[in-house]
Amino acid sequence: MTMTGAKVFVDTNILLRTILTQMNQHAEVDALVKRTIREGAELWISGQVIREFIVQATHPRTLAEPLTIEQVVREIEAMKPLFQIADETAAVRDKLLELLQEYPTQGKQVHDANIVVTMLAYGIDTLLTLNVDDLKRFEDKINLISVEEEN
């Protein structure tokens, strides 16, 4: 399958493992992302993904030696040219409120729903994620690609 010209959204769990070599599944995730780029896809993230990256990269439960804020800022500056950034606009907020009524959602699942509506607002239909189980309910709206499916 060729992805030339396709827009592909990168979930935080994929971004973390691509950038931080010390994380488990780094090699598999990095290979998936590199193949997606080679196939001609345009990679997208959002402000939410950047914030979640910062939270996870600086958290001691994620990394034995969490990154400092200075290190995280350097990583984000280095990755910015690789991604298009989907801003969270009023249209995204309005789509979120609609989606939450269509797919009853609560707690941390709201973050997943926000990724989906951000994708929809920007015409992105494919998500690279390790969080397939939580996002399966949105498969009528987006395509999910994960490392597990690639092996």
Per-residue pLDDT at 127? 98
- Which sequence spans correspond to the domains of the chain? 7-150
Q: For 27-41, write each residue's pLDDT tens digit.
A: 999 999 999 999 999
- Indicate if the alpha-carbon torsion angle 145, 35, 120, 109 is positive or negative: positive
How many Cβ atoms from other residues are within 10 Å of residue 139's Cβ? Answer: 11
Q: For 49-72, write each residue's pLDDT tens digit.
A: 999 999 999 999 999 999 999 999
Per-residue pLDDT at 104? 86
Question: Which of the four CATH numbers 3.90.226.10, 1.20.1250.20, 3.40.190.10, 3.40.50.1010 does domain 7-150 have?
Answer: 3.40.50.1010
Per-residue pLDDT at 151? 42
Per-residue pLDDT at 149? 54
Angstrom distance (rounded) from CA 42 to CA 56: 24
